[in-house]
Structure 1
Amino acid sequence: MASIINDRKASEIFQGQALLYRHLYAFIDSMCLKWIVELDIPNIINKHGQPITLQELVSILQVPPTKIDKVHSIIRYMAHNGFFEIVRIHDDNKEAYALTAASELLVKGTGICLAPTVECFLDPTLSSIYHQLKKWIYEEHLTLFEVSFGTQFWEFLNKNPSYNKSFNEAMASDSQLINLALRDCNLVFEGLEYIVDVGGGIGTTAKFISQAFPHLKCIVFDRPQVVENLSGNNNLTYVAGDMFKSIPEADAVLLKWIFHNWTDKDCRKILENCKEAISNNGKRGKVIIIDVVINEKQEEHKVTELKLLMDVNMACVNGRERTEEEWKKLFIEAGFKDYKISPLTGYLSLIEIYP
């Protein structure tokens, strides 16, 4: 075809249009995911015990006849995107929908369920802040959350118990996947007697560690509003405090998904407090970080895409995801001398740093 715009072929322009429209309507992906969780569809299919037909599903959901084709549209779209598998039932060759690895993660009552994460972050109040990206860019120090609500995210949680509860449940559900990955990380905890999980929430990961390593004493360290009324056991305790002021002494400090919430300046302060916490016991302690390490040159495109998307997402608190060089710079500036990065989950890495 002849050139049309800036010497581009019409085929290139059409591809550009398709990409533009894909992003224009990308918010529908999130809304369809929310729809799946709100209607409890993964649990319905799981309880059904076998792939479910459209007629069986709409019957259980009591969908009006006029909306059955719309249910089909959404289910078909989400199947195309990997949330359901379309199969044929042999008896009458009817089309039916089965769970995939993604939708199995939304089945409630199982060992690992990410439905609370979906419910939390797709709450209209929280997701609406991204309409303020333009205004946020011109505010020198304010976070996207402050631009939208006039307060920091953490202060908002402190003042709104229902959102605080929802956020803690979301973080606990995500920690279940981290626990799955940590099963193969015995060497990381070898030789340790005490470990403090900074920002450990309600203790999902600390409970796993304390059960997997009964000799290891675990401290869950978080905001007072998070750990109040939580009780531990012989090798698990809860301590309230502020990681910017001090961190309980231990052989190791664990921080999972903490640093991406904060600026470099804040991260250096946290690291300095970590260094002090592991240096007072007379042993060569370490800091264990579970977080994103961006590595565009060596990882798959889809993995990098997710990491870069998470980097944009952290605008809500002025945080960021980091490359290895950016991590290294933080470690050196905080007084650490050595570090080691290992893969952990599909997009999270495990970083061990030493004073």
Structure 2
Amino acid sequence: MEETNFGSQELLEAQAHVWHLLFSYLKSMCLKCSLELGIADALMNHGKPMELTDLAFALSIPPSKVEAFGRFMTTLVNLELFSKKQDISGTTKFVLTPMSHLLVKKETMNMTPFLRLILDPLMCDSSHTLGPWFKSPMETPFEFHFGKPLWEVVDEKPEFNNMFNEGMASDSALVGDVVMMTCRDVFKGLKSLVDVGGGTGTMARAIAHAFPGTKCTVLDLAHVIDTLKEDNSLVEYVGGDMFVSVPHAQAALLKWILHDWNDEECIKILQRCKEAIPSREDGGKIIIIDMVVGITTDKHPYAVETQLLFDLLMMSLVSGKERNESEWKKIILAAGFTDYKITPFLGLRSVIELYP
């Protein structure tokens, strides 16, 4: 057996790295706490930098907890959720950063519903069972922990179903704004589009607003469509099953859908979409908005790590996965498509165009 002789300095550095991994769960808890307290909203409503005591007062934090709250804010600043600056008198005050701007509830690009969804115990508790799940016959850690698949729980719990739909809608609102600013050419000139698994229709409405000449349809399961107060002046809602059939349109959109499913299921979905669109010569195509692991426009060094962690989330919740380009190519060709184009427009996610 080969000996491993690590030096004491190496082991101390390794210990620090292990500690960093060990305590990383507290980053999520800091994020959750900042949402519960409404720190970003308080700073936005104040309209200018705030001292710690003023911020604590605005959040109804009692004087006995201000010292602890200051330590908490120091951590949030280190995590870049907030920033601090000194005025001419040397007083430290807190301000928003681009990250915390995404936590302001009244802003269009507001991630709060999505964050609340992912941090809900139903979404994250099953991660505690990864170890025993690997040796179990259950398909997912979620099913191992809760005794039934995620989608079954969504159907059974109306409050969680609403939270799920609101979380997906908030992401669609953010992505819709960015897409319309950065990659309009993907949707330009389309006469019709069906948003497959489009939920409450946020993305479809954004496309309809940007391109009034495009007829937009939303396909989702009946229990999703039935909860909507429909506005058919912009989009049409159709209840159905994407594994069975997809309404005909010039293009089919799959935003953050295929990562929920395994390869065989993805191939079936893509085949149903292929049946619903015309030939390439007549402008038919499928537009996928999803991660391509290893491809990103995000400049942070942990971008690919985040993609890999998201893949573990998919493994924990459903039978899907985040795919690299070779894995995408495999299912694209298996579904009968001959050509595709990947454009990394959206930070950790890309736009993938498929042509029949």
Q: Report TM bin, short chain.
A: over 0.9
Q: Which residue of 2 aligns with 1:56?
A: 54
Change in 2 beyond 3 A, CA 1:320/1:249 = same
Change in 2 beyond 3 A, CA 1:89/1:54 = same
Q: Which residue of 1 aligns with 2:334?
A: 333
CA distance in 1, matches of 2:114, 2:189: 34
Change in 2 beyond 3 A, CA 1:180/1:299 = closer
1:308 aligned onto 2:308? yes
Q: Which residue of 2 aligns with 1:291?
A: 290
The answer as to whether partners of 2:218 and 2:237 remain within 8 angstroms in 1 is yes
Q: CA-to-partner distance for each residue in 1:169-194, whole Å, 9 max, x for gaps?
A: 11111112211221232221233111
1:179-328 map, 5 Å: 179-183=176-180, 184-228=182-226, 229-279=228-278, 283-295=282-294, 301-315=301-315, 316-328=317-329
CA distance in 2, matches of 1:310, 1:104: 22
Q: More displaced, 113-122 or 277-286?
A: 277-286
Could you say what secondary structure the match of 1:292 adopts? strand
Q: CA-to-partner distance for each residue in 1:184-235, whole Å, 9 max, x for gaps?
A: 3222123311100011111111111001000000001111121113313334
CA distance in 2, matches of 1:221, 1:281: 22
CA distance in 1, matches of 2:250, 2:74: 51
1:74-223 map, 5 Å: 74-90=72-88, 92-140=89-137, 142-183=139-180, 184-223=182-221
The answer as to whether partners of 1:157 and 1:163 remain within 8 angstroms in 2 is yes
Q: Which residue of 2 aligns with 1:66?
A: 64
AA in 1 matched with 2:286: V
CA distance in 2, matches of 1:249, 1:138: 43
Q: Which residue of 1 aligns with 2:23?
A: 25
The answer as to whether partners of 2:200 and 2:225 remain within 8 angstroms in 1 is yes
Could you say what secondary structure the match of 1:8 adopts? coil
The runs of 5 or more residues in structure 1 that have no matched partner are none
The answer as to whether partners of 2:296 and 2:349 remain within 8 angstroms in 1 is no
Residue 135 of structure 1 and its aligned partner are, at CA, apart by 2.1
The answer as to whether partners of 1:202 and 1:230 remain within 8 angstroms in 2 is no
Change in 2 beyond 3 A, CA 1:62/1:182 = closer
CA distance in 2, matches of 1:227, 1:58: 42
CA distance in 1, matches of 2:197, 2:304: 26
Change in 2 beyond 3 A, CA 1:164/1:280 = farther
Could you say what secondary structure the match of 2:35 adopts? helix
AA in 1 matched with 2:343: S
TM-score norm. by structure 1 comes to 0.94
CA distance in 1, matches of 2:184, 2:348: 20
Q: More displaced, 6-15 or 166-175?
A: 6-15
AA in 2 matched with 1:308: L
Count residues in correspondence.
350
TM-score norm. by structure 2 comes to 0.94
CA distance in 2, matches of 1:71, 1:252: 51
Residue 140 of structure 1 and its aligned partner are, at CA, apart by 4.1
Q: CA-to-partner distance for each residue in 1:115-154, whole Å, 9 max, x for gaps?
A: 1112111112322111111122123451221111111111
AA in 1 matched with 2:274: K
Change in 2 beyond 3 A, CA 1:281/1:328 = closer
CA distance in 2, matches of 1:259, 1:297: 18
AA in 1 matched with 2:173: Q
Q: CA-to-partner distance for each residue in 1:96-129, whole Å, 9 max, x for gaps?
A: 1100000010001111111111211111232211
Q: CA-to-partner distance for each residue in 1:6-31, whole Å, 9 max, x for gaps?
A: 22222211111111111111111111
Q: Which residue of 2 aligns with 1:41?
A: 39
The runs of 5 or more residues in structure 2 that have no matched partner are none
RMSD, aligned CA: 1.9
The answer as to whether partners of 2:193 and 2:253 remain within 8 angstroms in 1 is yes
Could you say what secondary structure the match of 1:246 adopts? coil
AA in 2 matched with 1:313: L
CA distance in 1, matches of 2:196, 2:296: 31
Q: Which runs of 4+ in 1 moved over 6 A?
A: 296-299
Change in 2 beyond 3 A, CA 1:171/1:299 = closer
Residue 64 of structure 1 and its aligned partner are, at CA, apart by 2.9
Q: Which residue of 1 aligns with 2:8?
A: 10
Q: More displaced, 27-36 or 121-130?
A: 121-130
AA in 2 matched with 1:122: L
Q: More displaced, 256-265 or 229-238?
A: 229-238
Could you say what secondary structure the match of 1:310 adopts? helix
Residue 296 of structure 1 and its aligned partner are, at CA, apart by 6.8
CA distance in 1, matches of 2:134, 2:248: 39
AA in 2 matched with 1:340: K
CA distance in 2, matches of 1:353, 1:140: 35
The answer as to whether partners of 1:262 and 1:320 remain within 8 angstroms in 2 is yes
CA distance in 2, matches of 1:121, 1:329: 29
